[in-house]
Structures are given as structure tokens and as C-alpha cells.
Amino acid sequence: MMQIYTLPEVIDHHFFQFNYNSFKDKLCILKNKEINMKETAQAATTQKKVKGILDRSITTREVIFLLAVVFCLSPFISPPIALLMGLVIAQFIGHPYLHLNHKATHILLQISVVGLGFGMNVSSALKAGKEGVLFTIVSITGTLIIGFLMGKFLKIEKKTSYLISTGTAICGGSAIAAISPVIKAQEKQISVALGTIFILNSIALFLFPIIGHALNLSQTQFGMWCAIAIHDTSSVVGAANKYGSNALEVATTVKLARALWIIPVAFLSAFAFNSKSGNIKIPWFIGLFILAMIANTYLPLGSNISHYIVYIAKAGLTLTLFLIGCGLSRKVLVSVGFKPLIQGIVLWVIISVAALWAVTMLA
């Protein structure tokens, strides 16, 4: 039976139906607006990110630095020139990524040294290593003793003096980085020692090849001399590479054999400074260098592959020296002080003259 509505009921029914449909339409509109707002916000965020990347202003300092890095990786820039470029940037422009410099040079130097191993022969390296053992023992012991006496005489802070002596005796910045936690050296003491060593390294990189040619040193003599007398591995390899390929092989082998003395010296340092909790950093990359030499000598890698690896390693070394130069800012140079620099210079002159006499008279 058909339901019959009265007039008021009909009016109420239609009014309810109208309100419901109107509410439903408004709800759909609101949902669509919300979806559109979300999509617009996401698009705006994406656009803002892209715009931020595109609109980021690269400073002139960063442009100059990055261009210098590219030049250092080219065959046109030698290690001494790369170091000089770095020094110029440090003094007049400033290193834009100074907070990353120490770690970058540390890693890059180790990779470069391992790469150089692919250009060396095991038998030649063993011969050079045997010839340099006696010089190494005598020079390390003598340098540490003279450094101790000089520190007392000049009244230099004990740990600073010791770090300068170990850096001069063994392998520069690597030795300082390994010994400093053992003796619990403070940041200021480490900075002064590193500054002293790197200043003298920079001079040695330019000076040693000139002296070597003036004295007509053989490749073997020069390689052994700079391995003993130049502090840091990077400058040793840079100077020897400039002098000749045989000098590079001798210098790298003798220097890395010398670097292994970090371990016994670190244990003696812990005893001398009554330090029990310091961690000794073992230079594991030397083992990789030895494996690279073995691979180059006994595995059929092919001369082309070895040549490219050595070329890349030398480019990495050039870049390392550039970064070291960039780290020698005016602040670092001023922080060194007069007395620590005097100790570093006197130790360096003594070990350089003694080593030069030894390799020319005894080698």
C-alpha cells in the first residue's frame, strides 16, 4: 500500500534530503581542498629543495680550491708545486674545508703509498731495507736522545718536545698521531709538534733534491738519505719521486720500514710517561704496501695495470701534499712558537748532516 505523507511531513522529508545532499557535497569539496593543499605543499617542498640546490652560492674560495685540486690531479703539477699552491691558498685565500683536511690527508697518503707498492719489486725492496736497517736504528736512537736533551736545555714542555723528537726520528705526522694518545698529549701540544714538522717538511721537499743534484748523489744514496732525514712519508716520497724512480723505490721502502718503529717506540713511550690506558695505533697500511709489492712481483698483473695504479698513486700523493700545504695556515704557523721550532730545526739539521755523511761514506 502506498504511504501517504501529510504536507508538513513532505516538507520535512525534502528539507532533510536537501541538507544531507548539501552536507555531502561540502564534505567532498573540503576533502578535495585538503588533498590539493597537501599536493601543493609537497610540490612546494620539492621545488624549494631543488631551488636550494640550484641557488646555492659557491664561494670564490671554494671555486679556487676545487680548481687547484683538479690541477693537482693533472700531470702538469709536480709535488713541490702542489705544496707551494697549498701554502699560497692557506696564507691568502683560506681552506674552505679545513675541518676535513687532517682526515683527508691521512687517508689519501695511506692509499697513495699502497698504490706505489704496485710499482716495486720485492727483491729490490728487501735489499734497500737491509741497507737501511743500521742507519734507521742509529738515527732513531740518536734523534730521541738529542731531542730529550734539547727539550731540557730550551725548557720546552715535556710532551711537546717528545712529540717533535719522535716525529723527527720516525715518520713525522704519522708518528705524532700514533704516540700522542699513548702519552695523553693535549691538543695544543699535538698542534705545535705537527706544525713544526710540517713546516720543515715543506722546506725539505724543495731543498733536498737541489742538494742531492749539487752533491751528485746516486739514486740509492739520495733515496736512503731523504728516507732518514725527511720527517713525513709524503715529503719523502715527493722528494724522491722528483729525483728518480730508483730513488723513489729505495726511499719508500726504507721509510716504511722506519715507520714500523712506531710500535716499539710507542710501548717505550707508555713506560716513560707512566701511561697505561693509551691506545697504540699500528700502521696497518704498511702490510697492504708489502702485499702490493708481492702482487706486482709474483702475480701476472701486467705492466699496463701496474703503470696506471702507480700513476694514480703519484697523483694522490701530489694532492696529499697540496692539502698539507693548505693546512699550514697563518694560525698554525704562529701557534708553533720560537723554542719548539728551534728544537725541530736543530734536530733536523743534525740528522740530515749525519745521514748525508753516512750514505756518502758508508753506503
pLDDT of res. 229:
92
HEC letters along 189-208: HHHHHHHHHHHHHHHHHHHH
Q: Which residues contact 263 (CB under 8 A, 6 or more apart)?
A: 280, 282
User: Do 129 and 107 form a contact (C-beta atoms < 8 A)?
Assistant: no
Residue 272, C-alpha cell as written in the block: 716513560
pLDDT given at position 29: 63
Chain centroid to Cα 174, Å, comes to 10
Report how far residue 217's alpha carbon sits from residue 209's, in angstroms, rounded to the nearest whole number: 10
Q: Count Cα atoms within 13 angstroms, Cβ side, for 298.
A: 8
> What was the pLDDT predicted at 36?
63
Distance of alpha carbon 72 from alpha carbon 320, whole angstroms: 9
R_g of the chain computed on alpha carbons: 33
Which residue type is seen at 327?
G
Mean pLDDT by 10 residues, the chain (363 residues): 48 47 57 64 61 58 91 86 90 88 86 85 74 79 92 91 92 83 83 87 92 94 92 89 89 85 84 69 78 84 77 89 87 82 93 91 70
C-alpha grid cell for residue 241?
Answer: 719521486
Type and span of the H or E element at 157: none
Contact assessment for residue 120 and residue 332, using Cβ atoms and an 8 Å cutoff: no
The dihedral of CA 115, 84, 327, 207: what is its sign?
positive
The backbone torsions φ and ψ at residue 59, rounded to the nearest 5 degrees and listed phi first, read -70, 160
pTM score, whole prediction? 0.71
Q: What distance in Å separates the CA atoms of residue 294 and residue 117, rounded to the nearest whole number?
A: 8
Rounded CA separation 257/296 (Å): 19
pLDDT for the residue 22: 56
Q: Tell me what pLDDT residue 38 has.
A: 64
Question: How far apart (Å, rounded) are the C-alpha atoms in residues 218 and 128?
Answer: 13
